[in-house]
Amino acid sequence: MKQIKLKINGKQYVFLVNDHEMLSNVIREKAGLTGTKIGCEQGSCGACTVMVNKEPVLSCITPALRYDGAEITTIEGVSKNGELDLLQAKFVEKGSIQCGFCTPGMVMTALDFVNKNPNPSIHEIKDAMAGNVCRCTGYKKIIEAVAEYAEERRTGKPKTEIKKPTPKGSVGVPRPYIEATKKVQGIADYADDYNLKDVLHVKFVRGLHAHAKIVSIDTSEALAYEGVRYIAIGKELPITFGVLPLSQDEEAIAIDKTRYVGEIVAAVAADTEEIAAHACKLVKVKYEPIKAFLTIEESLNDIGTAEKIHNTTKFNNNVHKKAELRFGDQQQGLKDAEVKLKMDFEMIGINHGFTEPHATTAFWDENGLTMISATQVTHYLHRALAKTMEVPLSRVRVIKPHIGGGFGGKGDPFAHEIIVAHIARKTGKPVKVRLSREEVFLNNHGRHPTKMTIQLGANKDGMLKVLDAAVAIDGGAYGSFGVVTSYYNGVLLQAPYKLDNFGFVTHRVYTNKPQCGAMRGHGAVNTRFAVESMIDDIAHQIKMDPIEMRMKNFLDPNSLTVGKYRITSNGIKQAISVVAEQADWKNKHGKMPMGHGFGVACGFFISGSALPIIWNELPQSVVHLKLDFDGRVLITSGANDIGQGSDTMLAIIVSEVLGISMDRTFVIAADTLITPVDLGSYSSRVTFMAGNAAKDAAENLRKEMVEAISKKKNINAEELHFSENRIFSNDKSLDITWEDGVEMLVANRGAVSVSGKYISPKLGGDFKGAGAGLSPSYSFSSCVAEVKVDTETGHVKILNVWGAHDCGKALNPLAVEGQLEGSWHMGIGQVMTEEMQYYNGLLVNNNFLDYKIPTSLDTPPIHTNIIETIDPEGPFGAKETGEGAIHAMLPAVANAVYDAVGIRITKLPIKSEDVLRLLKEKEKLNQPEKVS
């Protein structure tokens, strides 16, 4: 240990540090400046960037002792006297902040860069930001912010005025998130930023075998190690859990056997993380490895005398779920179709790659259990904790802090959450865990690896006749959302095209790998890729423009799909038309030189699942409003803002209905004690469902005010209007401020609380499985991609992407653009570079260096279009925008590769070596023709 002096943000500190302690640890844990984030522990993500002696440094890989006596600026020191720095203001204004976890590092990097290069080109900005990973924004708005910052800093002239909400109303006005200024200053607290008094730290002993019986666990030596407070093993937590009632198959700590390499077999709680980690090495576990099942094929087949992964599966194999639905007659359809195509596709597993690793703190007191956790689903976590801790629901409180992205990856109750709750109870102390990036990858719950055989038939006039999909998905060791995923792989293919003969069968298998679950575009991304690729192929075969062919087949608004989905608003035709026009499709597709191509594709997604996961008669979302003498409307909602902007959305809706400015609202969200139930952030449901609940609540509050004012002033209720913080009658005989109105409402009554709710209408057919994919509304999207393919190396480079998404109504266009650009960026990752590679069940690329999320340099210009169709049931016409857009991006790129070089991609990501091999095979096939 050594003593060092650091001047951080102008304040002098003296610290006692370990000789090999990193600077990030000193800044976060000792100075308490938690704006500096830890995302990867290897300098690959940039979230930990701080300035040391005016030079940017990655503090997570910088020894603290290197900089004894240094002056350090962290994100907290960038704004001065409560005024944001111009760059911070630009980040806020341009919508560069979503989850905000990468923001501190981005800001520090960009400040230094522009200081040294005051007049940068866009390429130079991208180059400079390439070491800072953002998973939410697709970098577009970050680059815009840096570019404008540089220009304004240089010229002294504001390029754009900061957009203020227009006086009349809040809906449709582009605006930053309400918490953006907090995030940009590094003062928004994420789960790992909570450090409770006397907290214990947990580390896990993780299994070494893909499938192994646990013979014995000896914790004695570890327990004797000084500073160790508790060691939990599996049999202490015998109650299984899972997000779906159908798949309660997971143990918090493996009891009798491990089902994947890395499964938790013991949890050590100690005074420090370092002690806990050291003690983990002292826990002795004996295993008896048994046959592991690592591939889809192995798990589909009869396994003979080997032991199944779960003994609950029906047959002597590891099939977890078979989902099948059929409409019309696929066999006849295939017979009748003039052009038929049968193709196999293979997609590898994908991880969410959110920048904030999981972290959780739990404690017990007279109120039972309180947990602060990085979760998208406070409600389901609440239920899972009550179940596994065996306490009534009334003894559990789950609080969601700011969340550094989720994309589905924080959408289940997790083992680590249950374990810290348990140890907190056993020790009587607060207990905290934060996962390393490697552990985040082990936790996974990402997109399922998928193999599929699809048959598609059409007539020569381009009309689709039949679609039949046989899909197998690799679920990993546990169920997660897998039953839903199994259905979504099939059912979500029944739109956006009319299909009379449509069927699918999906088998989800258990394998001895980390479990898969829901990820942005849940279940439908991989099969969508296949179908859109095949439509492109058929269009080529029948010599029809692929856009023209799609246009012929689109479902109309206000129609039913073959599986009885009710399509209401539908902007698919507008979406494809816009991207076609912007990309100059008519003059480009099929007309570029060898190696240069354009591709198109479409997508479709649910706007919230019409059926809840846990069947009960609770509304899917409830929002409470409280209004007191101060005139501020307190909005409480269980909806989880994970960076997608749902808190802001709630405030927009309430302020719109009540005609008040946004600063007269205040949002408290996702605290299960204080906020009413919302099912959480999954299935792209929050804007539609929580938004409708907020609208309902605001309308109820307005009704109360109208009644109070009309009674007091003797004016007809119908004559009262709410706008611009005033309440007035038609003839303006009454024209009072909002605050005056509030006074009338609370007089002789006090604070008023009202509630609003959303319950999905009854939808769909009455056959088994009819509920899968049912949604009160659906989103539609289209993308065009432009690529260049290097025929010497097989390397594919995306030059441009154009995207359009029908979100019904953009309540906050800036947020909608951000969601779309993030979706398309994530799609680019899956189609180009991302993959979870396993070796004997061990994930090989379990870090941000080897798991290849596209950097700013790998992200092409993204051209964003919002299509508005005003959904009849969405709040102010809005529907989902967080997930659906991703679907079209992947096949658009692959179809562009086909246009460029004539090879059909059936396996993702698009690897240069596969492209080169396919080019050679194509050349070989073509040669005899040339000779003849």
Partner 1 sequence: MITERTYLKPANVKQAIDMAIANSSSFRFLAGGTDVLVNKFQGNELSDCLIDITEIAELKKVEASKTYVKIGALVRLDDLKKDKTLANHFPALIAVAHEVASPMLRKTATIGGNVLCENRCSFYNQSEWWREAVGYCLKCEGVLCIATGGKKSCFSKFVSDTAPVLISMGAMLELADVDGVKEVALESIYTGDGIAPRNLSKTALIQNIILPMANEWKSAFRKLRPREAVDFTSLTTAVSIDKSGNVRIVVGGVDPKPVLITGTTKDDKNELIKQAVKKARIVDNDVYSRGYRKEMITVFLNQCFDELLK
Nearest approach in angstroms of CB 19 to partner 1 is: 4
x/- mask, partner 1, residues 435-474, rule CB under 8 A, reads -x-x------------------------------------
Is 24 near partner 1 (CB under 8 A)? no
302 is a site residue for partner 1 (CB under 8 A): no
Cβ atoms of 657 and 699 closer than 8 Å: yes
Residue 284, interface with partner 1 (CB under 8 A)? no
Closest to 808 (Cα-Cα) out of 641, 651, 688, 642: 688
Would you count residue 871 as binding partner 1 (CB under 8 A)?
no
256 binds partner 1 (CB under 8 A): no
Two tokens at 308? Answer: 């199944």
Q: Which residue has the tokens 């048994």?
A: 290
Q: How far is the CB of 693 from partner 1 (least distance, A)?
A: 42
Q: Which residues contact 805 (CB under 8 A, 6 or more apart)?
A: 575, 779, 780, 781, 816, 820, 865, 866, 867, 881, 884, 885
User: Which of 3, 20, 80, 761 is the binder for partner 1 (CB under 8 A)?
Assistant: 20
- Which of 764, 840, 799, 714 is CA-nearest to residue 610? 764
State yes or no: residue 897 binds partner 1 (CB under 8 A). no
Which one of the spans 242-250, 324-332, 764-772, 851-859 is the region binding partner 1 (CB under 8 A)?
851-859
**Region near partner 1 per CB under 8 A, out of 274-282, 336-344, 347-355, 678-686:** 274-282
> What's the CA gap between 116 and 169, in Å, rounded?
42
Nearer to partner 1, 273 or 500 (CB): 273
Among 7, 30, 42, 713, binds partner 1 (CB under 8 A): 42
Identity of the residue, 58 or 420, whose beta carbon is nearer to partner 1 in the bound complex: 58
Q: How far is CA 177 from CA 17, 63, 140, 844, in A?
A: 38, 36, 17, 37
Q: Strand 862-868 and strand 796-808: pairing?
A: parallel
Please identify which residue in 256, 344, 844, 926 interacts with partner 1, judged by CB under 8 A.
844
Question: Which residues, 6+ apart, have CB-to-CB distance to 856 below 8 Å?
Answer: 125, 126, 127, 129, 130, 132, 134, 139, 142, 143
Give, as ranges, the residues between 813 and 832 that touch partner 1 (CB under 8 A): 832
Q: Is 849 in the site for partner 1 (CB under 8 A)?
A: yes
Nearer to partner 1 among residue 129 and residue 572 (C-beta) = 129
**Counting contacts by CB under 8 A, is residue 800 touching partner 1?**
no
Q: Which of 46, 138, 608, 877 binds partner 1 (CB under 8 A)?
A: 46
Assigned token pair, 867:
């299509």
How far apart are alpha carbons 325 and 505 in whole angstroms? 7
Identify which range of 60-68, 292-300, 497-505, 865-873 contacts partner 1 by CB under 8 A.
Answer: 60-68
Does 387 bind partner 1 (CB under 8 A)? Our answer is no
Residue whose CB is less far from partner 1, 256 or 913: 913
Q: Is 162 in the site for partner 1 (CB under 8 A)?
A: no
Each residue 186-225 as x (binds partner 1 by CB under 8 A) or -, in order, gives: --------------------x-xx----------------
- For residue 236, report the phi and psi dihedrals to the nearest 5 degrees: -75, -20
Please answer whether residues 181 and 258 qualify as being in contact, where contact means their C-beta atoms are separated by less than 8 angstroms. Answer: no
- Could you tell me if residue 583 is left (phi over 0), alpha (psi between -120 and 50 degrees) or otherwise beta? alpha
C-alpha to C-alpha distance for 348 and 357, rounded to whole angstroms: 22
Question: Is residue 41 at the binding interface for partner 1, with CB under 8 A as the rule?
Answer: yes
Identify residue 24 by its one-letter amino acid code. Answer: S
Q: Is 501 exposed, middle or buried (0-12, 13-18, 19+ CB in 10 A)?
A: buried
Give least dist CB 153 to partner 1, A.
Answer: 19
d(CA 420, CA 467): 47
- Report the half-sphere exposure of 581 (CA within 13 A, side-chain side): 9
Which residue from 31, 814, 893, 916 is in contact with partner 1, where contact means CB under 8 A? 916
22 counts as binding partner 1 under rule CB under 8 A: yes
The region of 63-71, 424-432, 526-534, 752-760 touching partner 1 under the rule CB under 8 A is 63-71
Cβ proximity to partner 1, 46 vs 406, nearer residue = 46
* SS3 category, 380: helix
Considering the rule CB under 8 A, would residue 522 count as an interface residue with partner 1?
Answer: no
43 binds partner 1 (CB under 8 A): yes
Rounded-to-integer distance, Cα 169 and Cα 162, Å: 17
Closer residue to partner 1 (CB): 854 or 891 = 854
Nearest in space to 362 (alpha carbons), one of 353, 374, 352: 374
| 618 lies in the binding site for partner 1 (CB under 8 A) | no
**Count of Cβ atoms closer than 10 Å to residue 878 Cβ:** 30
Closest to 832 measured CA to CA, from 591, 472, 603, 529: 529
Q: How far is the CB of 127 from partner 1 (least distance, A)?
A: 7
Q: Does 612 contact partner 1 by CB under 8 A?
A: no
In the complex, the smallest distance separating the C-beta of residue 828 from partner 1, rounded to whole angstroms, is 11
Answer for which of 19, 366, 390, 766 binds partner 1 (CB under 8 A) is 19
Minimum separation from the CB atom of position 61 to partner 1 (A): 5
Say which residues have a Cβ less than 8 Å from residue 83's Cβ, sequence separation at least 6.
Answer: none
| Closer Cβ to partner 1, 44 or 644, answer by number | 44
Q: Which is nearer to partner 1, 96 or 436 (CB)?
A: 436
Contact flag: residue 273 with partner 1 (CB under 8 A)? no
How far is residue 799's CA from residue 892's CA, in Å, rounded to a whole number? 13
Binding residue for partner 1, selected from 295, 553, 582, 845, defined by CB under 8 A: 845
For partner 1, the binding residue among 378, 607, 812, 855 (CB under 8 A) is: 855
Instruction: Report d(CA 366, CA 620) in Å as an integer.
Output: 30
**Quick one: 483 or 828, whose CB is closer to partner 1?**
828
Could you tell me the two tokens for 55?
């030079």
Neighbours of 827 (CB within 10 A): 30
Contacting range for partner 1; rule: CB under 8 A; set: 125-133, 298-306, 603-611, 623-631: 125-133
Please report whether residue 128 would count as binding partner 1 according to CB under 8 A. yes
How long, in residues, is the chain? 932
**For partner 1, which stretch binds (CB under 8 A), given 31-39, 50-58, 80-88, 566-574?**
50-58
Residue 5 to residue 2: CA distance in whole angstroms = 10
Q: Which residues pair with 464 in a beta bridge?
A: 458
Type and span of the H or E element at 427: helix 415-427
Local structure of residue 483 (DSSP, 8 states): H
Q: Within a 10 A sphere around the Cβ of 768, how many other Cβ atoms?
A: 9
18 binds partner 1 (CB under 8 A): yes
Among 35, 95, 100, 131, binds partner 1 (CB under 8 A): 131
CB atoms under 10 Å from CB of 144, counted, come to 19
CB closer to partner 1 out of 346 and 743: 346
Q: Considering only the stretches 170-178, 843-851, 860-868, 876-884, report the one whose residues sit in contact with partner 1 under the rule CB under 8 A.
A: 843-851
Told to check if 674 binds partner 1 by CB under 8 A, we report no
What is the DSSP pairing of strand 596-606 with strand 368-373? unpaired
Three-class HEC string of 432-457: EEECCHHHHHHHCCEECCEEEEEEEE
C-beta closer to partner 1: residue 294 or 580: 294
Q: Is 54 in the site for partner 1 (CB under 8 A)?
A: no
Answer yes or no: are the C-beta atoms of 169 and 162 closer than 8 Å. no
Confirm or reject binding of residue 66 to partner 1 (CB under 8 A).
yes
- Site residues (CB under 8 A) for partner 1? 2, 18-20, 22, 41-44, 46, 49, 55-58, 61-63, 65-66, 109, 113, 127-132, 206, 208-209, 261-262, 274-275, 278, 436, 438, 792-793, 832-833, 837, 839-840, 842, 844-846, 849-850, 852, 854-858, 911-913, 916
